[in-house]
Each structure stands twice: as structure tokens, then as C-alpha cells.
């Protein structure tokens, strides 16, 4: 049984404030003529958004069923429990303003902790040469124009955005006044020219695959959220692994959670919906909350179909390709070459971060590849990927050669329940889809971090789940 918790109303959810929900869900369970069990609400997806919606609805007495396509709980909150030191494939950082997540964790007894310290600094590898971050601004191989040489290579996109940020509030990105910024990122990056070397650096940190497609307004939205969070305390991580939170949320529910239930079709008739799964099972409900990422949702058949513009949004809003890999080392290679263990490179392996634990003095290293490099990396077989990682790390940093052991490779793009890490906006899409992409379709409500207005990341998942649940309670 879960303890009582204050849930926000629909109005205050959308404003990011807290209040009590006073509306009760009124429905009953029955067995339809087809012998399909009927529920008040079926939730598709057992990630944070679906589980948060379930907790709100169940607290109001609703009967629920949660359908999850994978064999686990948590969505992109994914602790690799079978890998040494249990690193995170997704959902690592709990921001200081993640109020909903922090409140839920506190209620369920899930502890947060500070990140264990790691060796400071960053090694930068560019065109076959290595340097320390502190030397970047005066480094002879730095290709940036003279007046920009002090800009870190990982900050080139951010530094090109309008300053100060023209978005006054967290939801200003949806206002008409912001539409002037829904243009290609390239429009704001002319100061860097068309130098191929500079383009390589931009691509490493690009939250997309092409500066001719990425929306400046989408980048401004992310920057506005970072401004909101800055100066409000430290980020934390979930003690024991990020998966512990969705597991605790699931355990707090009475609702049945069925794994390995890939939804293929949703039909609506007579004010009720029927969910059809790939294994032939069917489930009926008065309401549906669908938290599937658009990269997967585009494969689901709706009857009646989604409105044309909303279907276009589902089909066209892109998801960032991301692959993570993890390795350990036999000895501290950074002490041999006197360069920091954190690495930023223009190689296909892109970025390396040491992850420390309070439970062990040993580090595990997280490699992060995104965008075009992730797509290219995914073309190789697993054995070829492993060899590529070892060869590249040994090439760009000889002190690592023969000293590392690869532990895990995880591609979010090739992971069938997600088919991408997170959504981003192409130029023109916010103007076109911003006010309709997450609208309810009959009694089908959409949630997931990609549908949030005010937050990003894990908190966005919580926000969207609350919105969908409160929309149902308000009916």
C-alpha cells in the first residue's frame, strides 16, 4: 500500500505548481461480451510517465492495467544491474528542480545521493592531437577563429544561440512571439564558417543529425530549462541505480503490470477503447494513456485514425540516435600520460566519462556516441563494434592500449521498445505541430517526456503523466 500524497490539479500541473486533486474517477469494472476484461484506464508503457499517471489515478480509485512491451519496468530508466558497478544506460542525473521526482522518491523511501568525485579536467582530442581543456584557448591546433578560440568545443552550439535567451518563461517556446526562432540552427552558426574541422566538433555535441534541420527554438527551450535549474542546488543520482525508482513506483501500485505486451492497434467505439497486442490479447478501457515514444507510436494503428496533422507529427518528429558503451581499466592510464580521464574527441567514440561509486574505489567508464556517429556505429556487428572501440581508444590515447575491458554496449536506436533516445525538434515543427502533437484523440491521452511543456528529462516524464491523469480526472 502507498502512503497518501498530494497530487496537483490539471490547472496547477500545467503551471508547475502543487495542489490537491479533488475530482474522483467514476467507473466500474465489468466483463464485456467478448470476455475482454474492462478497466477504467489502460496505460501503455511502464516508464516514469505511465507509472506516475497510474499512481495518481489509482489514488482516486480507478481500476488500471499497465501494458509494457519490454521484459522490464522503467523505460529509459535503465540500470545495467548485470554489469560491474551497475552503470546507467539511461536516466543518470536527477536535476535540482526535479520536484515531482524528488517528492515521489522521498515518499517511497528511494534514496538520492551526490555523485562520487572523479578526477578533474578533460582531455580534448582533435585531428590526431591531444591537449588539456585548460590549454584549449591557446592550443596551436585549435581551428576556431581568433576571437572564438576560448569557446569550448562542446559549447559551440550553445554559444551561437541568441543572448539573452528570448524565452521569458518555461512555456514561452509555444507562444507566437517565439516562432521567429523556429528556423534551422545553421542560420545562427555562420560565425563558424564552413570549415570541415569545426563542423566535426559541432557534430559531436549536436542534439540531432543536421544543423540544417535542428530548430533554434528547440535549442532555446532546452537552454531556458537549464537557466531555470542553474543556481538551485546540486544534481543527484538514485542510490542503488536509477531503476530502483520505477521499481518502487510499480510496487506501490495495486494495478496489474503485464510485460512483453507490444501494442499494435487501438480501436475506439461507443466511448470505450480496445487495445490489441501482438500476442493476440485484447484489453478494454474507458480511457487510454499512451506513453510510447513517437518513434514507436508511428507503428501503432488507430481506428479511427489520428487527425492528419497529428499523424504527421507522430511520423516526422525525430529521435536522437544514441549508443552508450562501458569499460573498465586494469590501471589508471591517465597517470601515465598526465591527461584527465574524461575525454572529448572528434573520433567515432566521441566522449568518455569516468563514473565513480562510493561503494568501490574503481572507476567504470561511460562512452557516449550520438547523432550521425551513432548511426554509423550501429551499422557494425557487435564484434566489429567492440574491436572498433578498442582500436580507436588505443589510437587516440596510446596509454589506454591493452589496458581496458569492454563491459557493455547499448544502442537506444536499435532497442526496439524505444528506437531512439529522446525527441528533438526540426526547424518549423514547433510552429506546425506545437499545439496539436500531444492532444488527446477521443479517449486516448498521450504522455511521455516528449509531450511535456515545462520540463525535460525524467521530470518531463512525471509532468506529462500528471497532465494525462488529471485530464482524465477532469472529465
pLDDT tens column, 275-310: 999 999 999 999 999 999 999 999 999 999 999 999
Query: In whole angstroms, what is the distance from residue 367 CA to residue 369 CA?
Result: 7
- DSSP assignments along 7-40, one per residue: ---HHHHHHT------PPP-----B-TTS-BEEE
DSSP 319: B
DSSP β-ladder status, 322-329 and 360-370: antiparallel
| Model pLDDT, residue 191 | 82
Residue 207: closest CA among 185, 236, 188, 175: 185
| pLDDT at 357 (0 to 100) | 86
User: Which three cell numbers mark 40?
Assistant: 477504467
Share of the chain above pLDDT 70, in %: 93
- Segment 200-252, tens digit of pLDDT: 899 998 989 999 999 999 999 999 999 999 888 899 999 999 999 999 999 99
Instruction: Please report the pLDDT score of residue 421 as a whole number.
Output: 95
Query: What is the pLDDT at residue 5?
Result: 34
Where do the DSSP E strands lie in 221-321? 237-238, 256-258, 263-269, 272-277, 282-290, 301-303
How does the average pLDDT of the chain come out, rounded?
Answer: 91
User: For residue 428, what are the contacts with CB-CB under 8 A and spacing of at least 6?
Assistant: 182, 183, 215
Closest to 20 in 3D by CA, of 38, 29, 8 = 8
pLDDT at residue 74, as a whole number: 97
Specify the pLDDT at position 475: 80
Residue 390, C-beta contacts closer than 8 angstroms, at least 6 positions apart: 404, 406
- Give the pLDDT confidence score for residue 35 in this predicted structure: 52
Instruction: Compute the Cα dihedral for 391, 393, 398, 403 and give only its sign.
Output: negative
Q: Report the alpha-carbon distance of residue 44 to residue 57 in Å, rounded.
A: 14
Rounded average pLDDT over 446-461: 97
On the question of pLDDT at 359 being above 90, the answer is no
Query: Quick check: helix, strand or coil at residue 343?
Result: strand
Per-residue pLDDT tens over the stretch 108-161: 999 999 999 999 999 999 989 999 999 999 999 999 999 999 999 999 999 999
Confidence of residue 22 (pLDDT cuts 50, 70, 90): very low
Name which residue leads in pLDDT, 256 or 4. Answer: 256
Task: Name the pLDDT band for 371 (thresholds 50, 70, 90).
Answer: very high
pLDDT digits (tens, 9 = 90+) for 49-79: 999 999 999 999 999 999 999 999 999 999 9
Question: Torsion angle, CA of 444/449/452/458, rounded to 10 degrees?
Answer: 130
Euclidean distance between CA atoms 110 and 250, whole angstroms: 13
Which grid cell sits at 126?
Answer: 582533435
The mean per-residue pLDDT over the stretch 406-418 comes to 96
> In this predicted model, which residue has the larger pLDDT, 35 or 430?
430
Q: How many Cβ atoms are within 10 Å of 311's Cβ, its own excluded? A: 15
What pLDDT is stored for residue 45 in this prediction? 98
Question: 32: pLDDT confidence band, cut at 50, 70 and 90?
Answer: very low
Q: Coil, helix or strand for 334? A: helix
Rg of the chain over Cα atoms, rounded to whole angstroms, equals 23
Q: Is the distance from CB of 263 to CB of 17 less than 8 angstroms?
A: no
Average pLDDT estimate for 263-270: 96
Beta-bridge mates of residue 326: 366, 408
Tell me the three state secondary structure of residue 452: coil
- The two beta strands, 123-126 and 129-132, are antiparallel
64 close to 41: Cβ distance less than 8 angstroms: yes
Evaluated on CA atoms 159, 160, 163, 165, the torsion sign reads negative
Contact criterion met (CB below 8 Å) for 363 and 341 = yes
Task: Decide if pLDDT at 360 tops 70.
Answer: yes
What's the confidence (pLDDT) of residue 364?
95
Is the pLDDT assigned to residue 435 strictly greater than 90? Answer: yes
The DSSP element (H or E) to which 355 belongs, if any, is strand 351-357
Q: Tell me the H-state helices in 48-96.
A: 48-59
Nearest residue to 372 via CA among 348, 390, 395: 348
What kind and span of H or E run contains 446?
A: strand 444-446
CA 145, CA 69: separation in Å to the nearest integer? 49
> What CA–CA distances, in Å, run from 377 to 1, 22, 178, 433?
45, 51, 36, 31
Please spell the DSSP secondary structure of 395-418, one letter per residue: HH-GGGTT-EEEEEEEETTT-TTT
Amino acid at each position: 500500500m502507498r502512503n497518501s500524497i498530494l497530487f496537483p490539479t490539471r490547472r496547477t500541473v500545467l503551471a508547475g505548481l502543487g495542489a490537491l486533486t479533488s475530482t474522483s474517477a467514476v467507473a466500474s469494472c465489468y466483463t464485456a461480451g467478448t470476455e475482454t476484461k474492462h478497466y477504467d484506464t489502460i496505460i501503455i508503457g511502464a516508464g516514469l510517465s505511465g507509472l506516475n499517471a497510474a499512481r495518481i489515478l489509482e489514488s482516486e480509485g480507478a481500476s488500471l492495467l499497465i501494458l509494457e512491451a519490454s521484459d522490464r519496468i522503467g523505460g529509459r530508466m535503465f540500470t545495467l544491474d548485470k554489469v560491474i558497478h551497475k552503470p546507467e544506460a539511461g536516466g543518470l542525473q536527477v536535476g535540482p528542480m526535479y520536484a515531482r521526482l524528488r517528492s515521489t522518491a522521498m515518499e517511497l523511501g528511494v534514496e538520492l545521493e551526490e555523485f562520487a568525485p572523479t578526477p578533474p579536467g578533460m582531455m580534448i582530442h582533435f585531428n590526431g592531437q591531444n591537449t588539456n581543456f585548460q590549454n584549449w584557448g591557446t592550443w596551436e591546433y585549435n581551428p576556431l577563429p581568433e576571437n572564438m578560440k576560448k569557446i569550448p568545443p562542446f559549447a559551440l552550439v550553445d554559444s551561437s544561440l541568441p543572448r539573452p535567451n528570448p524565452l521569458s518563461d518555461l512555456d514561452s517556446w509555444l507562444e507566437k512571439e517565439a516562432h521567429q526562432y523556429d528556423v534551422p540552427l545553421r542560420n545562427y552558426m555562420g560565425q563558424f564558417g564552413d570549415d570541415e574541422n569545426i563542423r566535426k566538433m559541432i557534430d559531436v555535441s549536436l542534439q540531432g543529425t543536421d544543423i540544417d534541420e535542428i530548430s533554434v527554438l528547440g535549442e532555446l527551450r532546452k537552454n531556458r530549462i537549464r537557466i531555470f535549474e542553474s543556481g538551485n542546488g546540486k544534481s543527484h543520482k538514485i542510490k542503488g541505480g536509477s531503476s530502483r525508482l520505477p521499481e518502487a513506483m510499480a510496487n506501490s501500485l495495486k494495478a496489474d503490470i503485464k510485460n512483453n505486451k507490444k501494442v499494435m492497434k487501438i480501436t475506439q467505439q461507443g466511448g470505450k477503447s480496445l487495445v490489441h497486442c501482438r500476442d493476440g490479447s485484447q484489453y478494454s478501457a474507458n480511457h487510454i494513456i499512451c506513453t510510447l515514444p513517437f518513434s514507436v507510436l508511428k507503428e501503432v494503428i488507430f481506428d479511427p485514425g489520428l487527425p492528419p496533422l497529428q499523424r504527421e507529427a507522430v511520423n516526422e518528429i525525430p529521435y536522437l540516435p544514441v549508443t552508450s558503451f562501458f569499460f573498465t581499466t586494469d590501471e589508471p592510464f591517465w597517470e601515465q600520460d598526465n591527461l584527465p580521464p574524461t575525454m572529448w574527441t572528434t573520433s567515432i567514440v566521441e566522449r568518455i566519462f569516468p563514473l565513480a561509486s562510493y561503494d568501490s574505489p574503481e572507476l567504470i567508464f561511460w562512452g557516449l556516441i550520438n547523432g550521425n556517429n551513432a548511426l554509423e556505429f550501429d551499422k557494425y556487428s557487435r564484434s566489429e563494434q567492440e574491436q572498433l572501440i578498442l582500436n580507436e581508444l588505443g589510437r587516440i590515447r596510446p596509454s589506454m592500449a591493452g589496458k581496458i575491458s569492454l563491459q557493455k554496449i547499448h544502442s537506444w536506436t536499435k532497442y526496439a521498445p524505444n528506437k531512439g533516445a529522446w525527441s528533438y525538434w526540426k526547424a518549423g515543427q514547433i510552429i506546425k505541430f506545437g499545439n496539436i502533437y500531444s492532444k488527446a484523440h477521443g479517449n486516448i491521452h498521450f504522455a511521455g517526456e516528449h509531450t511535456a511543456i515545462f520540463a525535460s528529462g525524467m521530470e518531463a516524464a512525471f509532468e506529462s503523466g500528471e497532465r494525462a491523469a488529471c485530464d482524465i480526472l477532469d472529465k
